[in-house]
Amino acid sequence: MAQLTFREAIARGIAQEMRRDPAVVMLGEDVAAAGGVFKGTVGLLDEFGPQRVRDTPISEQAILGAAMGAAMTGLRPIAEIMFSDFFAVCWDIVVNEIAKSRYMTDGQVSFPLVIRSGNGGGLRFGAQHSQSVENWAMMIPGLKVVVPSSARDVIGLMAAAVRDPDPVVFLEAKALYPTKMDVPDGEIVDALGTARVLRSGDDATVLALGSMVPRTLAAAERLAGEGISVTVIDVRSLIPLDTATILREVARTGRLFTVEENPRVLGWGAEIAAVVTEEIFYDLDGPIVRITTPHIPLPAADALEDLAIPSVERIATTIAKALSD
């Protein structure tokens, strides 16, 4: 067992797959000598050399165009888009080319590539560098979407993403980069489409993703002190979505809350709420409640950003009030 920061786990996860498969390559802005702007690729250039770890021009279109071509010709590229906000610059390549070309070639060409990116707020970077865009990617047929919340899951889900035959959008919560966590030794390999029950309770089921997971766990601990027992599920994978685990736990507790960093309108919780309503409506004992960031550009001012993103206090207070009504 080792203690790793979230960013160190990213490098370990990528290195694990590069050692295993010489077809795995890493490319992006400043990912080689600089080790990444968020230091998520430190040490990769030294171990694997400039043929497999490549700095690119400052062009998101070039990065993903090169990654797509590499995947088409037998490599398994991991491409970094520095901030997930910058998907807006290269969204055509993601949506109309990478996501659809396997289907449009009747499976003659596959696209085993991972697009990883720093996602979300909490670091005072302002409205153009702090967006949570998981809902952008979730809506596109042909993409798989994962959002780890722990150093261990970064490694395991990275392995699953790299080994998958389809394109995977791998979103890393920037607010978690410096956090330290225990990580088992040896190879870690996970499975896409699996949620994880982190805490079991009887009064409600609470779903969280990315940086909202540790906040939700802290809120659950606070609620326990008030006599409220909640189940906390780390969704981890949006596409594919582990509906079996979610539906089982919601049916058992009868209440559902989602904790989302993405803006409220069309967030991932809305999709899950629709699924739950369609599948197990009569098992619900009350309305589904979504705890989200408002539908606003995220402020850069610290007090305002903290107010916008769901906090431990807001999560706990909202759940307690809803259960008491």
Check residue 297 and report its DSSP letter: P
Phi, psi of 175 (to 5 degrees): -65, -20
DSSP label of 31 = -
For 124, the token pair is: 């005072």
* Distances 325 to 51, 190, 245, 248, 283 between C-alpha atoms, Å: 61, 40, 27, 24, 18
The letter for the amino acid at 245 is: T
Whole-number Å distance between alpha carbons of 108 and 104: 9
Catalytic residue positions, numbered: 60, 129
3-state helix, strand, coil in the chain (%, to 5): 40, 20, 40
Using alpha carbons only, give the angle 316, 222, 259 rounded to the nearest 5 degrees: 35
Q: Which helix (H) or strand (E) holds 207?
A: strand 204-208
Question: Distance from first CA to last CA of the chain, Å, rounded?
Answer: 44
Kindly report the length of the chain: 325
| Helices (H), ranges, 73-142 | 87-92, 101-104, 134-138
31 touches 44 (CB < 8 A): yes
Cβ neighbours of residue 286 under 8 Å, at least 6 residues apart? 254, 255, 322, 323, 325
* Gap between the Cα atoms of 7 and 4, Å rounded: 8
**Structure token digits, residue 291:** 């705890």
